Amino acid sequence: MAGRFISIKSRDGKTFQAYLATPDNKGASAGKGPGLVLCQEIFGVNAYIRELADRYAEEGYVVLAPDLFWRIEPGIELGYSSSDWQRAFALFQSFDVDLGMEDVGATVDTLRALPECVGGVGVVGYCLGGKLAALSVTRTSADVAVGYYGVGLEQHVEELAGEHPPLVLHIAELDKYAPAEVRDALTERLGKHPNVTLYSYPDADHAFARPGDHFNRPATQLAHQRTIAAIRNVVGPHFDFAALWETHCAYEFAIREIDPLMKTMVAEPYVNHIPTMTGGVGHQQLAHFYRNHFVNSNPPDTRLIPISRTIGATQLVDELLFCFTHTTPVDWMLPGVEPTGRRVEIPLVAIVRFRGDKLEHEHIYWDQASVLVQIGLLDPKGLPVAGVETARKLQDENLASNALMPNWSFGTRAG
């Protein structure tokens, strides 16, 4: 647990606790950032919610997760055993949504007043908290909100159909707590609202973002990306991903130093070179990979030629040519292959995700068959593969297309 608990004064003159997590950024803005209220599930501000708060703090937010069950019993923190589930549902059934929203509003106001909070305040919530987050755009001063698989939203459709700040709702299509008729009602009434965005996840169930039986990694990753994009669009913070990535690449290919390279990444990053499944997961393994099989293993004439770059709210996509002469072992691209002395020019795509101002992971793609053709390990005759022609075609779209298709013909169309 990286944060701490603070006291919040309720609007009826009492106090309750909230978990506070702050960003670990540097410089003049150290420990500061836009605010984010995190609304709990029905299990209280437990370890999962605190971990979420810490994760959002890494994204650059000052996060406050209030104990919203304090009026029933302060400090409730449940797990996911059958007995805990039963108690959680009992708490949910006795929870007063209107009083809960008063406490969410008090949390938003408290967060705005903290010296660490610089800029606007958003709200994000899960399950019960997903509904409370949605209602925060109509009942609090929140600037933006995101709700994950909110329960009982159909009871508040008319309220949410009015004017309010931006709202994103993540909907799980297998969610028994939001059956088809509920999803249809939300889509019909809110789908065309200018400030409401509905995202549906076809293979996901309720609580798909929480590790457990219903955890769905692809849905979780996509939903998180959309969440950060929505919040950053309204309250920030904004980072120079291009500069961060170029600094990282400089340590990889020019400066070739491991320790400062690793400092450009989160504490437990990962890299996956898709065609060869090389890289590493976690700081220790990835540092070992960089030190022994990447940074000091690329041929001295290695060159990266940029073709295009796309920058989003959480990630950067680079399209480039990766060029080298195979004079040294290149373990990550050609594991176990002795140097051939052959020239390689290969189109390569790097998808780089950031968490705050650090690299979180890299997914690197290229055509391994083309590499093998270029170093002489694969005879392209009779196969639908090409060698350096793929790099040439990337740079000049006027070069011949469809050369590998024996049945290709292109004549002048009559008319």
Q: What is the CATH number of the domain that holds 12?
A: 3.40.50.1820
| Confidence check: pLDDT of 345 > 90 | yes
Q: What is the mean pLDDT of residues 337-363?
A: 98
Same domain, 218 and 246: no
Residue 44 DSSP code: B
Spot the catalytic one: 206, 273, 326, 361.
206
Same domain, 147 and 262: no
How does the average pLDDT of the chain come out, rounded? 95
Q: Which residues contact 57 (CB under 8 A, 6 or more apart)?
A: 2, 3, 21, 22, 23, 24, 63
Same domain, 46 and 192: yes
23: left (phi over 0), alpha (psi -120 to 50) or beta: beta
- Tell the residue number behind the tokens 């290149």, with chain if given: 330
Strands 196-201 and 265-273, how do they pair? unpaired
* Structure tokens given for 319: 């399209």
3-state class of 92 per DSSP? helix
Beta bridge partners of 352: 316, 362
Q: How confident is the model at residue 411 (pLDDT cuts 50, 70, 90)?
A: low
Same domain, 148 and 269: no
Residue-level pLDDT at 2: 78
Please tell me the distance from the alpha carbon of residue 378 to that of residue 282, in angstroms, as a whole number: 34
Residue 405 resides in a domain:
no
Same domain, 275 and 209: no
Q: What is the mean pLDDT of residues 352-364?
A: 97
| Confidence check: pLDDT of 183 > 70 | yes
Residue type, 341: G
Q: What is the mean pLDDT of residues 109-118?
A: 97
Q: Between the CA of residue 63 and those of 4, 32, 37, 372, what are the distances in Å?
A: 11, 10, 6, 49
Residue 407 resides in a domain:
no
Same domain, 207 and 267: no
Same domain, 210 and 256: no
Q: What is the mean pLDDT of residues 183-197?
A: 95
| Confidence check: pLDDT of 108 > 80 | yes
Residue 411 resides in a domain:
no
Residue 358 resides in a domain:
yes
Q: Output the domain CATH number for residue 245.
A: 3.10.450.50
Domain termination site, one of 235, 270, 294 = 235
Same domain, 169 and 315: no
Same domain, 372 and 386: yes
**Measured between alpha carbons, how far apart are the two ends of the chain, in Å?**
72
Residue 414 resides in a domain:
no
Known catalytic residue at 175: yes
Same domain, 269 and 198: no
Q: What is the mean pLDDT of residues 94-120?
A: 97
* Structure tokens given for 65: 């997760």
Q: What is the mean pLDDT of residues 126-144?
A: 98
Asked if 188 and 216 touch (Cβ cutoff 8 Å), the reply is no
Other Cβ atoms less than 10 A from the Cβ of 202: the count is: 8
* Structure tokens given for 251: 């340590």
| Confidence check: pLDDT of 414 > 60 | no
Residue-level pLDDT at 169: 98
| Confidence check: pLDDT of 253 > 70 | yes
Please tell me the distance from the alpha carbon of residue 60 to that of residue 237, in angstroms, as a whole number: 6
Q: What is the mean pLDDT of residues 407-412?
A: 78
Domain that holds residue 220: 4-235
| Confidence check: pLDDT of 100 > 60 | yes
Residue 82 resides in a domain:
yes
Domain termination site, one of 235, 264, 293 = 235
Asked if 97 and 48 touch (Cβ cutoff 8 Å), the reply is no
Other Cβ atoms less than 10 A from the Cβ of 224: the count is: 20
Residue-level pLDDT at 27: 59
| Confidence check: pLDDT of 415 > 50 | no
| Confidence check: pLDDT of 350 > 80 | yes
Residue-level pLDDT at 245: 97
Please tell me the distance from the alpha carbon of residue 258 to that of residue 264, in angstroms, as a whole number: 10
Residue 288 resides in a domain:
yes
Q: How many domains does the chain have?
A: 2
Spot the catalytic one: 67, 103, 175, 205.
175
Asked if 315 and 354 touch (Cβ cutoff 8 Å), the reply is yes
The dihedral through the CA atoms of 246, 248, 250, 252 has a sign that is: negative
Residue-level pLDDT at 28: 56
Domain termination site, one of 216, 235, 254 = 235
Candidate from 64-73, 249-258, 309-318, 405-414 with smallest mean pLDDT: 405-414
Q: What is the mean pLDDT of residues 42-49?
A: 98
Same domain, 36 and 102: yes
| Confidence check: pLDDT of 1 > 80 | no
Same domain, 140 and 224: yes
Residue 338 DSSP code: P
| Confidence check: pLDDT of 29 > 90 | no
Residue 401 resides in a domain:
no
